Amino acid sequence: MSPTQFERAAEATPPILAKKIRGLSDRAIAWIFVAPTIFLLLAINIFPLIWTIRLSFTNFRVNRPNAEVQFVGLDNYRRILSDADIWLTMQTTAHFLIWTIVLQVLIGFSLAYLINKKFRGNDLWTTIIVFPMMLSPAVVGNFWTFLYQPQIGLFNYVVGFLTHTDPSSFSMIGDVNLAPWAIVIVDTWMWTPFVMLICLAGLRSIPGSIYEAAECDRASKWRQFWTITLPMVLPFLMLAVLFRGIENFKMFDLVVQLTGGGPGSITELTSINLKREAFEKWRTGYSSAYAVILFVTVFGLASIYVKALNKVKER
Amino acid sequence: MSSFIHGLMRFRRGAWEMLASILIALGVVMMMQPLALSLFSYSFVVTLVGTVMFIITSHFPE
């Protein structure tokens, strides 16, 4: 009988090492395997976080490494939380968040409801719909920039064709009124399939027997939708809303590629504003406090998200 | 509502987590609302209290 994989590994282990390992408990061996990951996690995630919190209480500027670093207490936090420009940036983020979530949930749920029906080519349509979320945000930002071109862009051409206006008479990413909607449209196009998939999972988890019972009770389709479908998909919808909310709160790459925060600062989301404070104005202490504020907000939202996720799992 | 208050009084996880979630959500709304700068100024404190409360109360008994 040929030796097993474990026996071959045991034979290949040098005797000195084998002697050392033989004396270790299962728990110790488990720690040896887990230790590199824990070390990397501490080095890449935890240490920078603690360092950022420490820097947020100082006036440190990374472009002046020789300048004396002073402890300023909560001054950075006080300045950020009384800054009208940052408040405006938060409102821009809120506009982006609310509209993307509303559109993605409405369109995503509608698509899931349609896809859930059995029809020919169902799988093919699902694949086509899911395609945008497989692309890189940088790629999506780049090609939508071309689609939004006033002279040659397909988007402008279609809108011009439908509204009987000159396609070159408006610029989606150059107009202060249209630019916020330009990023909403692209994000909706890209991430609606994700919401659709979550809703589809929710719809497919509803047992058919409930609908059969409702049919027996002569409940109309409309009533079935409001009393069966919607309440049972609601936890999944909540999950999608929270997930997209957290992700869009941190949105950076797509908007940088599309508008770069412009025109002016009309599409400057918090993440872009933070990057400007940290790497253009070099206010490291100040931007660290800004980052801590955003971190606590996202962490809080993520806590609710995990709670919602556990509720869905319990079902 | 009475079960929620009862849960708070008896330090039950569900009720306290709910309260913490409400505080976090309130903090986020205060941070992004366009009405008053003073609400924005206190938003971080509210979110921070909610988040810390959530971490603590998630260890409470069911």
Q: Could you tell me the domains of chain A? A: 5-55 (no CATH), 76-314 (1.10.3720.10)
Q: What is the pLDDT of residue B9?
A: 74
CB A204 within 8 A of CB A194: no
In the numeric block, the tokens 């040659």 are attached to: A152
- The CA radius of gyration of chain B, in Å to the nearest whole number, is 13
CB B59 within 8 A of CB B35: no
CB A230 within 8 A of CB A238: no
Between positions 3 and 62 of B, the ones with CB within 8 A of A are 17, 20-21, 24-25, 27-28, 31-34, 37, 40-44, 47-48, 50-51, 54-55, 58
Furthest CA-CA distance within chain B = 39
Report the alpha-carbon distance of residue A255 to residue A247 in Å, rounded: 13
Report the alpha-carbon distance of residue B17 to residue A305 in Å, rounded: 12
In this prediction the ipTM stands at 0.91
Residue-by-residue DSSP string for A102-142: HHHHHHHHHHHHHHTS--TTHHHHHHHHHGGGGS-HHHHHH
Nearest C-alpha neighbor of B43 from the set B59, B52, B31: B31
In this predicted model, which residue has the larger pLDDT, A36 or B6? A36
Report the alpha-carbon distance of residue B16 to residue B52 in Å, rounded: 12
Residues of A with CB under 8 A from a CB of B: 77, 81-82, 84, 87, 90-91, 93-94, 97, 293, 296-297, 299-301, 303-304, 307
State the number of CA atoms in the 13 A half-sphere of A157 facing the CB.
7
Report the alpha-carbon distance of residue A80 to residue B34 in Å, rounded: 16
Counting every residue, how long is chain B?
62
Detail the DSSP E strand segments found in chain A.
Answer: none
Q: What is the pLDDT of residue A167?
A: 85
CB A148 within 8 A of CB A171: yes
Report the alpha-carbon distance of residue A269 to residue A195 in Å, rounded: 22
Report the alpha-carbon distance of residue A4 to residue B1 in Å, rounded: 63
What's the DSSP call for residue A58? B
Q: Which residues of B touch A297 (CB under 8 A)?
A: 27-28, 31, 44, 47
> Is the preceding omega at residue A263 within 30 degrees of 0, hence cis?
yes
Tokens of B52: 């810390």
Three-state SS at A276: helix
Q: What is the pLDDT of residue A54?
A: 95
What does the CA dihedral A236, A241, A246, A250 come to, rounded to 10 degrees?
130
Q: What is the pLDDT of residue B35?
A: 92
Tens of pLDDT, residues B7-59: 777 778 888 888 999 999 999 999 999 999 999 999 999 999 999 999 998 88
Cβ separation B17–A77 shorter than 8 A? no
B21 CA to chain A: closest CA distance, Å? 6
CB A273 within 8 A of CB A260: no
User: Which residues of chain A fall short of a pLDDT of 70?
Assistant: 1-2, 21, 313, 315
Tokens of A179: 């630019």
What's the DSSP call for residue A229? I
Bridge partners (DSSP) of residue B9 are none
Bridge partners (DSSP) of residue A166 are none
- The CA-based angle A223-A225-A226, given to 5 degrees, is 65
B32: nearest CB among A77, A82, A90: A90
